[in-house]
Amino acid sequence: MFSSSGQFASNCVFVGNTAAVRGGAVSGPNGMMGTVYDSVFRGNNGNSESLIASGTTLKGCVITNNVTGASIANYGVRLTSGCRLHDCLVADNETRYAGVTGGYAVGCRFINNHAAGENWSNPGGGAARDAALTNCYFYGNRAYRLGGAIRGGTVVNCVVVSNTVTRLRTDNDCYGAGIYLANLVENCTVMSNYCGRGAGISGITAQAV
């Protein structure tokens, strides 16, 4: 849903929307990309693909209590390459695969999001996966076994506190309740995360500078 002339939406409430593909709440016609300002996404269902289609920019939005369908490969807020979040609250969403995926987020808060699937092929990222994250706050997010808050991507000037990997094993199946396998972690506070093994930051090789 985007204006055909301006490709934007503002001060909207998206509630109870469902789609089989291309964005349960937002997807422009013919893949049109646009920006959503100061809006609320609540109780929407991404079903077989995502909540918000790739290429969308969100500014000052609240994204809460949304879910994806039953497929093990589903994303929550799927923001693939070229997508942007600015000053958004992403809270209490549940997905089968990962939270915010791809793109970048600046000045956002990620609270109590849950990657619920007991998926084994490529799991993890309760709040964010493979995204560029700057000046963001992560609290109380969960994933089944890898990356309770964050998996992959870059993490700069962020606070990562009290996140969990729910499969509490001490073998190679469970790592990184805070951050797992990120390409870069810089100037971050990482504390009080809980996992069977490697609770704070895991899967990252330190290099001398």
Mind listing the pLDDT tens digit for each residue in 34-44? 889 999 988 88
pLDDT tens figures, 88-142 = 999 998 877 677 888 889 999 999 998 876 655 556 788 998 899 999 999 999 8
Confidence category of residue 45, pLDDT binned at 50, 70, 90: confident
Predicted model pTM: 0.87
Whose CA is closest to 147, among 167, 31, 79, 51? 167
> Are the C-beta atoms of 49 and 67 separated by less than 8 Å?
no
User: Tokens in use for 34?
Assistant: 């646009």
Higher-confidence residue of 191 and 46: namely 191
How many beta carbons lie within 10 A of that of residue 156, not counting itself?
A: 15
Contact 207/184 with Cβ under 8 angstroms? no
**Cα–Cα distance, 85 to 71 (Å, whole number):** 25
pLDDT above 80 (res 68) = no
Q: Is the pLDDT of residue 173 over 70?
A: no
- pLDDT band per the 50, 70, 90 thresholds, residue 13: very high
